[in-house]
Amino acid sequence: MRVCKFGGAALRSAAAFRQARTIWEADAGRQVMVVSAPGKRAEGDEKITDLLYACQSAAADGRGYGHLFDRAAQRFREIAAELGLPAPDDDLRQVYQGLPGASPAWAASRGEWLCGRLMSRYLELPMIEPERVIRFDAAGRLMAEETLGLLRAEIPGPCVLPGFYGADGAGAIRVFPRGGSDVTAALAAAALNADACENWKDVAGVYAADPRLVPDARPVPDMTYRELRALSLLGAQVLCDEAVAPLRRAGVPLLVRPFNTPEAPGTRVHAGYGPERRASAIAVTGRAGIALRRWERIGGGGALAETALNAGLPLDRLAADADALCLTLRRPEAPPAALDALADRSWRLEHAASVSVVGEGLSRADAAARFTAALSGAGLRPLSLHMPPEGLYITAVVEEESFPAGIRAAYDAFLRA
Ligand code: ASP
């Protein structure tokens, strides 16, 4: 059996609901459908979740929220009408009336709830209420073991499960971080020991490089959980670690699949390659908008780095080599005063970017030499180069303006056939 999850983009309109149904019905093995709240229909459009957060904050400040709520309600009414379903007026009224005094989590969760209600009517399937199966503790942290047990006990067969939220022991609604329906899907797939967790998205899969920088980059056919995790940590916007960890633990493969072309294979994420796999890189990624600090180890640099870490600055990465410690910080999130305080005795670069090559098969013997040659061939000078002892990735820090050139040079050196 499979768990399949449809994200906001894959449920943004009635046409998208129809497409989701076609995909669902094409394979009887699909048993649990996890849904997000409808997302943007076009650039500049509003996500239902954002609208609901805005309603809650207006209601909490005693401002009117009717005009905001109407924009969300209209989307659900339109989808229902186009699908030939009755208007979800009772559900909408319930949400509208619940908003004064509601928590932000309750308000935001109503997007998934309304969407799940609509989908369950459309597919004529039961809907499981997430507050019964996704359990948080009083501090808002997921209680994974308890949740897995509840999911196993409560999911009887084919059903719709709204993503993104659950409840704590006192019954208060709690949400995962943004994009958290992916976590719900992973938990359901792990609990039911599914053959796969399918994540239907509006991209063709996980790309070997950002297609805005490398236009001919293709989706990677398959990769390991470790590679996906490294890609996310190093800058690629794929699934967050929380959304992969339950699958990894249960050994359930993740399929990132393109919603608009369901016949395309997308990307398969699994535990490991067979012995026939040739050693290689699978993707390049990176992050612009970071600041670099480098301390020579001689003269107390280590203590300063420790101060920086203890100050709770938005750490991007920490790399150590024989004579220096390098820290990269995510610039937009770093308070300027804190960045200044760190200037003391460090070598600094305010506008930096990291370029990384990822792959279980990267060879330690050759990666650093190949990467340095590629960057210098493109006229770039790596300001720090780091590869962890276990391999998996190699990262260079470059000047921010060289970021696109760095990504292209890395792609050409490691991935271009
Ligand atoms: N609707 C939520 C969000 O916009 C959760 C999700 O889409 O997974 O972040």
Is the confidence at residue 98, as pLDDT, over 80?
yes
Please tell me what DSSP assigns to residue 299. I
Q: Pick the residue with more confidence: 38 or 43? A: 38
Nearest CA to ligand 1 atom 6: 179
Q: Which of 12, 36, 40, 187, when mutated, tests ligand 1's pocket best, judged by the most ligand atoms within 8 Å of its CB?
A: 36
Is the confidence at residue 162, as pLDDT, over 60?
yes
Report the pLDDT value the prediction gives residue 297, as an integer from 0 to 100. 64
Q: Pick the residue with more confidence: 382 or 277? A: 382
Q: Measure 391 CA to ligand 1 centroid, in angstroms.
A: 33
According to the per-residue pLDDT averaged within each range, which of 7-11, 184-188, 286-290, 339-343 is highest?
A: 184-188
> What is the percent of the chain where pLDDT is above 90?
76
179 close to ligand 1 (CB < 6 Angstrom): yes
Q: Residue 172 and residue 136: Cα distance in Å, rounded?
A: 9
Please give the distance of CA 54 from its chain centroid, rounded to a whole number. 22
31 close to ligand 1 (CB < 6 Angstrom): no
C-alpha distances out from residue 400 to 289, 358, 382, Å: 7, 20, 11
Segment 355-403, tens digit of pLDDT? 999 999 898 788 999 999 999 999 999 988 888 878 899 999 999 999 9
Q: Which of ligand 1's atoms lies nearest the C-alpha of 111?
A: 1
Report the pLDDT value the prediction gives residue 289, as an integer from 0 to 100. 92
Tell me the pTM. Answer: 0.89
8 close to ligand 1 (CB < 6 Angstrom): yes
The answer to whether 112 touches 129, Cβ cutoff 8 Å, is no
When mean pLDDT is compared across 260-269, 273-282, 347-356, the lowest value belongs to 273-282
> What is the percent of the chain where pLDDT is above 70?
92
Spell out the domains of the chain, with CATH numbers in brackets: 2-202 (3.40.1160.10), 283-414 (3.30.2130.10)
Is the confidence at residue 333, as pLDDT, over 80?
no
109 close to ligand 1 (CB < 6 Angstrom): no
3-state secondary structure of 134: coil
Average of per-residue pLDDT across 188-215: 96
